[in-house]
A and B are shown apart, each in its own frame.
Chain A
Amino acid sequence: MSTINQRLGRTLIYTLLIGFALIYLAPLYVMLVTSLKDIEEIRSGNLIALPEHLNFSAWSKAWNSACTGSECEGLAPYFWNSVRIVIPAVMLSTIIGACNGYVLAQWQFKGSNMLFGALLFGCFIPFQVILLPMAKLLAWLGLANTVVGLVGVHVVYGITFTTLFFRNYYVAIPNELVRAARLDGAGFFAIFWRIFLPMSTPIFVVTVIWQFTQIWNDFLFGVVYSGPGTQPITVALNNLVNTSVGGKEYNVDMAAAIIAALPTLLVYLVAGKYFVRGLTAGAVKG
C-alpha cells in the first residue's frame, strides 16, 4: 500500500519537475526555432513547429544589416561596444572590490563598519534616484555618451556589490593570518599580494561572473548615458525590435535576442555553480 503511494508520489514529483523544466525551456526553444525560419513559414506555421529547412539568413541579418533606428548595420557594432564597456568595467570594479573587501574584513579602523553599512545600503537604492545628477556629472566631465563614461558609471555602482562579495569572503579568514604575516615582516600590500590573493580564486570567479552578467545585461545606464556610437547591445536590441521599417521580421528579432543573450548564457553554462553563489551571496545578506 505504502509503496504504491510512494510510487505515485515519485511519479507526481517527476511529472511536475519535468513539466516545469519544459515550460522554462520553452521560450528559448521558441526563440531558436523562430530564428531559423523565414517570414513566410512564421506566418503560416505555429510557434513551436520545427523549421522545414534551416535558414540562417535571419542570423546574418541580425548580426550585420538589421536596422537599429536610423542605422542599419545590425548588432555587430553594438556587440563590440558592449565588450569594450564590459571588460574594463568588470576588471576595475573587481580589483577595487577586492582591495576594499580586504580592508573592511582584515584592517578594520574606526568607522570602517559604518562605511561598510553605507556601501551595503548602496546595493539596494533604485538607480532612478541617481540618474539625473550622474548625467550632469558626466556632461560636466565631458564624458557624456562615451564608453569611458559608461565604464565609470558601472564601476562606481558595481563596487558596492564587489566589495560586499570580497568582504564576506575575507571576513571568514581569521585575522591571526594577518597578524602572523605582520610579525613575519610583511606589510599591508605584501600580505594582500602574497597571502590573500592566492587564496581568492573562487571569489574572483564569482565576482567576475556577477559583474559580467550585470553589466552585459544592463539596459538602464546604457539607454540613459550612451550616444549613437556607444550604445551597448541591450539598447541596440531594443531599438532593433521596436524599429518598424516595413513588416516585422520576427526571425531577425529572435536571432538578435539570442545573440545578445549568448555571452551570459555561455558563462552560465560553463560556470553555473559560481553564478548561483554570486546570486545568493549578493542577495541574501551582508
Chain B
Amino acid sequence: MGAITIQELTKSYGETNVLKGIDLAIDDGEFLILVGPSGCGKSTLMNCIAGLEDITSGELFIGDDNVTSVNPKDRDIAMVFQSYALYPTMTVERNIRFGLEMRKYPKDEIESTVKDVAKLLQIEHLLDRKPSQLSGGQRQRVAMGRALARSPRVFLFDEPLSNLDAKLRVEMRTEIKKLHKRLGTTIVYVTHDQVEAMTLADRIAVMKDGIVQQFGTPYEIYNDPANRFVADFMGSPAMNFVECIVFEGNLIVESGNQRHEVVIPNTQAVIDSGLETVILGLRPEMITEPKPHAESGYITQMQLGVQVTEPTGPDTLAFGEWNGQEIQARLSPEVGAQAEIDGEVQIQVDTGKAVLFHPQTGARI
C-alpha cells in the first residue's frame, strides 16, 4: 500500500545535477531516513517524492501506482515541514481541517477526525489558538496533527525537529517513533542529524552529492560502512581514521613512541590490494582502558600519550596521536581523569570491528 519504489531518478536544474540516479525500494510501513550533509540532495529527493518538484528522468511508484507525473495532492501523502508551515491566519483547528475540507470530506467525519487527532497528539486545549500563540513544540505537534488528519499512505518529514531546542528534540523524537509504531504508516524522514537517523530509522539512506552512498539498517550503516564518507558521517564521536603502513598484512601503529603490529580481520583483502598504506577506521569505543576479560585475537595493548580529555559524563574522550594523526579513545571517567593528570594512559585496542579504506579513493577494502 504505502511502499515506495524509486527507479533511476534524476533531477537537474539547468546544468547542475542535484540527483544523479537514485534507486530505492522502501517497504510498506517502513521508517526510512534520508541523511546527509546539506546540499546532498536529500530534501530535493523528498520534494520529488511529494511531487513538489518535477522529476527530470526516472520513475516513482507509491504502492502499485506510477505517480511520476501525478499532482502532489493526488499522491495521498502528507508532509511535515521544517518551518511547520502552519497557516498563520487560521486557528489550530482550521489548520487541521483544511486538508479535509479541500478534499470535500463530509462534515461529521471532519469533526471526529479533528477530535481524534487532537486527542492523539494532546493538543485539544490548543484548538482555538493561532499558530503565533504557540510554542515551538506545540507548533510541531499541530504540524504533525495536520499531516495525520488525512491518514495518508505515506508521511514525509522534512527536518521536522531542527527548529526545536535540544531537550524538546529528544522528546519529540521518541514521540515520533511511538507514533510510527502505532500507525504503521510508511515514513520518509529527512535529517542532517545522524543521531536522529540512528535512533529512528528502520533503514537509512546516506546521501552525498546526489548519490545514495549506502542504504541499510542503522546497524549495517554503523558497523559496516560502505566507504569512508559514510563511516565518517555516521556516529558521534566520529570514527578515527589513521593512515598505517601495511606490513605482512598487519598494520603498523606507532603510539607513545612504540611501534605495534595490529592484527586486522580482513588481512587477505589488504594483501590482495597491494597497497603500501591503508586507512584504518576504528570507532572510539574500540580504544578503551584494558578490560580484564577481553580475549580475542584482535586485542592489542599499548600506551597512548594523552593531550587533552573531554568528560561527557558516562565516559571520557581522550585525544592522543597514532602515527602522528589525532585519535580519540573512549575511557571510563575515572581512568580519563587520571589520564589527564598523567598525560598518558594504558589502553587496549580491539580491531575486531576495524574497517579499512583506500587511502586515495576512500573506498572500503
Contact = CB atoms under 8 A, between A and B. Distances in A.
Q: Is any CB of A less than 8 Å from a CB of B in the complex? A: yes
Interface of A: 174, 176-177, 179-187, 190, 194-195, 198-199
B79 A180 contact: yes
A181 B87 contact: yes
A181 B79 CA distance: 10
4 closest A-B pairs (Cβ-Cβ)?
A: A184-B99, A185-B102, A198-B89, A176-B85
Nearest to A110: B14
Nearest to A174: B83
Contact of B77 (A183, A190, A199): A183
A187 B102 CA distance: 9
Nearest to A201: B89
A160 B78 CA distance: 37
Contacts of B88: 199
6 contacts: A180-B79, A184-B98, A184-B99, A184-B150, A195-B89, A199-B88
B89 A183 contact: no
Nearest to B71: A182
B269 interface: no
B73 interface: yes
A176 B73 contact: no
B119 interface: no
Contact of B73 (A174, A185, A199): A185
Nearest to A180: B85
B52 interface: yes
B99 A185 contact: yes
A183 B83 contact: no
Contacts of A179: 47, 50, 52, 72, 79, 81, 85
Given A177-B87, A185-B103, A186-B98, 4 more contacts: A179-B81, A180-B146, A184-B98, A194-B87
A176 B99 contact: no
Contacts of A186: 73, 98, 102
**Is the contact region of chain A dominated by helix, strand, or loop, or is it mixed?**
helix
B5 interface: no
Contacts of A184: 73, 98-99, 102, 146, 150
B332 interface: no
Contacts of B99: 183-185
Contacts of A176: 81-83, 85
Contacts of B98: 181, 184, 186, 194
B102 A177 contact: no
A190 B103 CA distance: 12
Given A181-B98, A184-B98, A199 B79 contact: no
A81 B78 CA distance: 54
Interface string B43-81: 000010010100000000000000000001100011101
Interface in B73-114: 73, 77-79, 81-83, 85, 87-90, 98-99, 102-103
Contacts of B146: 180, 184
A171 to B, nearest CB: 15
A182 B89 contact: no
A181 B102 CA distance: 9
B291 to A, nearest CB: 50
Contacts of A195: 87, 89-90
Contacts of B81: 176, 179-180
A183 B99 CA distance: 8
A183 B152 CA distance: 11
A183 B87 contact: no
A183 B103 contact: no
Contacts of B103: 185
Nearest to B50: A183
Given A176-B81, A176-B82, A190-B102, A182 B72 contact: yes
A181 B78 CA distance: 10
Contacts of A174: 83, 85
A39 to B, nearest CB: 58
B186 to A, nearest CB: 15
Given A190-B102, A195-B89, A198-B89, A182 B83 contact: no
Contacts of A185: 73, 99, 102-103
B226 to A, nearest CB: 32
B85 A177 contact: yes
A179 B77 CA distance: 12
